[in-house]
Amino acid sequence: MPAALGGVLAAGAGLGLGELTAALAGGTSPVVGVATHLIDLAPGPAKDWAVKNLGTADKPVLIGVVLLGVAVFALLAGAIGASRPRIAVVLTVLLGLLAILAAATGRTLAPNHFIRILPGIVTLLTATIGIVAILRTLNLNPFDGGGHRKAAAAEGTKSIAHSNQSESLPTTPPTTEAPTIAPVRPAVTTPAPATAPAGFDRRGFLVTAMALGAAGAGGLLVSRVLPDGVSEATRMGIKIPAPASPANAVPAGVSADVAGVSRFVTPNKQFYRVDTLLTVPKIDPRSWELRVHGMVDHELRLNFADLLGRRLIERDITLTCVSNEVGGPYVGNARWIGVPIAEILREAGVHAEADAVRSRSVDGLTIGTPLKALTDGRDAIFAVAMNGEPLPFEHGFPVRMVVPGLYGYVSATKWVVDIEVTRFEDFSAYWTDRGWAVEAPIKTSSRIDVPKGFAQLKAGPSVAAGVAWAQHRGITKVEVQVDDGPWQPAELAAEDTIDTWRQWTFRWNATPGNHKLTVRATDADGQVQTADRAAPRPNGSSGLHNTVVMVE
Ligand SMILES: Nc1nc2c(c(=O)[nH]1)N[C@H]1C(S)=C(S)[C@@H](COP(=O)(O)O)O[C@H]1N2
Ligand SMILES: [Mo]
């Protein structure tokens, strides 16, 4: 089906050049724009499923789904074009309009309204010109018929409109305005040829197809090698000043010292990543600015140098995602350097009626945080460094928020650019619009790292180990239950701070057969981790982690 192939090639050329435009100008890529809408519109259960089953592969999978959808749509449009060329053009234009609409209305990293839709415009024009050109090589002229017939009728001459070969075609492809000047045809005129008629321009088809393919592939390839923001060298070249208030040395003995247990400090490369961005922002710190406004006496604007020039504190803080399932991987511990948020708020002069801070990421995503958690003395910071280096791009470069004790989605805004002091009753944030709780302190939790589920163990003395966390309260006890036996105390590793997780070790005598180990933690408020199972939505999972082992 050459027409169907032509449809796909035209759409591919449009996407390739759209991608190139996005890379050159910094606008919203059509594919990313549509996929971002899918993220934002996805019903809760679909998103929960993706987070649980796809993990960090959810992003490539989503891009693949969008590309597949475009390919199928374009294939059908092209196939329809074999008998109804004008419909093929209309469908292709619609595809381009969708790209523009998605870019115009969605979250974007683009600097302004025109640039954000520019790639979509390029996609629309390229794909439309492409489909028209390829249909013409198949002697399927979407602009044929109506216009000529009308002109011929007006002149009172005999129509020659059905004779495609005899027409002199313009050498440049028509623009998208052309269909709009073609009058609507009555339903029963001469049907367009269903198959390529005699005179099918085989060579023209091949040349056009190759040109479209080259535009698509070339645009995509070049867009991939163009720089997409500041470089890794620029990031690593940033000197973070020594903190005025360094963290205490991590005490000896914070680690359970059992093979397979989580490292106490999670290396940046292994740190979990949860966000809604399909392309990682690589903000130039020289142009980054933080605006502080809303219910304040003085609006502030701070640039990156201003921030680095302020009093920096260094702290170990464990982050947790509300989407983490019982026993799940979305928890990590790092040593951060940053500026206390409370000091900046104090300088701005927060009004007494305010109870919330709405922070905004560079892509427009918003997060609502209780003002109290930012001002009650805990080490809530605008972080600029993570584990001894400037923030990695994936983790919010150049500046993100980190607030001990709260789930990330209500506190840990990455790529933060705007802080508005406000009231919870006056706004809703990205995730609260999607069914998650407005306020979400971290639930006391624990996880078994070793042994892994269904591990085969030798009978005799055996050891289990893992982590427990209740940030900003601290962990005071961890217990393990073997099968339905009594709860037995695990040995706690040293505590770093109440804002970090705590490791534990449990020694037991493994007897032959299958056994289930279950863990629970108690926090410094005396709260014992609940056995009641809850899904992550709306305010974090609960229930006890267990692991089944086979002992021989
Ligand atoms: N801009 C932005 N910040 C964000 C998010 C996001 O999607 N966009 N996700 C939040 C969530 S849900 C969590 S759990 C943490 C995760 O931080 P990490 O990816 O550095 O581990 O970032 C938070 N900050
Ligand atoms: Mo999260």
Is 272 touching ligand 1 by the criterion CB < 6 Å?
A: yes
The CATH number that domain 445-551 falls under is 2.60.40.650
Q: Which atom of ligand 1 is nearest to the CA of 332?
A: 21
Out of 274, 387, 400, 430, give the residue to mutate to test ligand 1, the one with the largest number of ligand atoms within 8 Å of its CB: 274
Ligand 2 centroid from CA 79, angstroms = 44
> If you classify domain 268-434 with CATH, what class do you get?
alpha beta
Is 276 touching ligand 1 by the criterion CB < 6 Å?
A: yes
Is 271 touching ligand 1 by the criterion CB < 6 Å?
A: yes
> Could you say which ligand is closest to the alpha carbon of residue 431?
1
What confidence score (pLDDT) does residue 51 get? 77
> Could you say which ligand is closest to the alpha carbon of residue 273?
1
Q: What percent of the chain has pLDDT over 70?
A: 90
Cα 401 to Cα 413: distance, rounded to the nearest angstrom? 5
Q: Which helix (H) or strand (E) holds 482?
A: strand 475-482
> Per-residue pLDDT for 54 more than 90?
no
Give me 531's structure tokens: 């056995």
Sequence letter at residue 440? A
> Per-residue pLDDT for 512 more than 80?
yes
For ligand 1, atom 16: residue with the closest CA: 274
For ligand 1, atom 15: residue with the closest CA: 408
Q: Which atom of ligand 1 is nearest to the CA of 363?
A: 1
Is 408 touching ligand 1 by the criterion CB < 6 Å?
A: yes
For ligand 1, atom 9: residue with the closest CA: 275
> Could you say which ligand is closest to the alpha carbon of residue 107?
1
For ligand 1, atom 13: residue with the closest CA: 408
Give me 326's structure tokens: 């019982």
Q: Which residues pair with 465 in a beta bridge?
A: 450, 505
Give me 516's structure tokens: 């289930």
Neighbours of 131 (CB within 10 A): 34
What confidence score (pLDDT) does residue 247 get? 98
Q: Report the first-to-last Cα separation within the chain, whole angstroms.
A: 62
Q: Which atom of ligand 1 is nearest to the CA of 271?
A: 21
For ligand 1, atom 21: residue with the closest CA: 273
For ligand 1, atom 12: residue with the closest CA: 409
Q: Which helix (H) or strand (E) holds 456?
A: strand 456-457
Is 4 touching ligand 1 by the criterion CB < 6 Å?
A: no
pLDDT of 359-375, one tens digit each?
999 999 999 999 999 99
pLDDT of 57-102, one tens digit each?
889 999 999 999 999 999 999 999 999 999 999 999 999 999 999 9
What confidence score (pLDDT) does residue 217 get? 98
Every domain of the chain and the residues it spans: 2-138+200-225, 268-434, 445-551
What confidence score (pLDDT) does residue 41 get? 93
Out of 401, 414, 417, give the residue to mutate to test ligand 1, the one with the largest number of ligand atoms within 8 Å of its CB: 414
pLDDT of 406-463, one tens digit each?
999 999 999 999 999 999 999 999 999 999 999 999 999 999 999 999 999 999 999 9
> Per-residue pLDDT for 187 more than 50?
no
What confidence score (pLDDT) does residue 199 get? 59
For ligand 1, atom 8: residue with the closest CA: 275
- Listed in sequence order, the residues at least 6 apart from 486 whose beta carbon sits closer than 8 Å to its beta carbon are none
- Tell me whether domains 268-434 and 445-551 share a fold: no
> Per-residue pLDDT for 186 more than 80?
no
Is 395 touching ligand 1 by the criterion CB < 6 Å?
A: yes
Give me 73's structure tokens: 């749509």
User: Across the chain, what does the average pLDDT equal?
Assistant: 91
The least confident of 50-54, 271-275, 393-397, 529-533 is: 50-54
> Per-residue pLDDT for 172 more than 50?
no
Is 273 touching ligand 1 by the criterion CB < 6 Å?
A: yes
Is 319 touching ligand 1 by the criterion CB < 6 Å?
A: yes
In 353-428, where does DSSP find H-type helix?
Answer: 371-375
Ligand 1 centroid from CA 401, angstroms = 9
What confidence score (pLDDT) does residue 145 get? 56
Neighbours of 248 (CB within 10 A): 10
Is 321 touching ligand 1 by the criterion CB < 6 Å?
A: yes
Cα 379 to Cα 162: distance, rounded to the nearest angstrom? 77
E strand segments, 258-380? 289-294, 300-303, 313-320, 331-340, 356-361, 366-370
pLDDT of 256-295, one tens digit each?
999 999 999 999 999 999 999 999 999 999 999 999 999 9
pLDDT, greater one: 119 or 52? 119
Mean pLDDT confidence for 190-210: 72
Is 275 touching ligand 1 by the criterion CB < 6 Å?
A: yes
Out of 36, 275, 283, 469, give the residue to mutate to test ligand 1, the one with the largest number of ligand atoms within 8 Å of its CB: 275
For ligand 1, atom 5: residue with the closest CA: 275
Is 268 touching ligand 1 by the criterion CB < 6 Å?
A: no
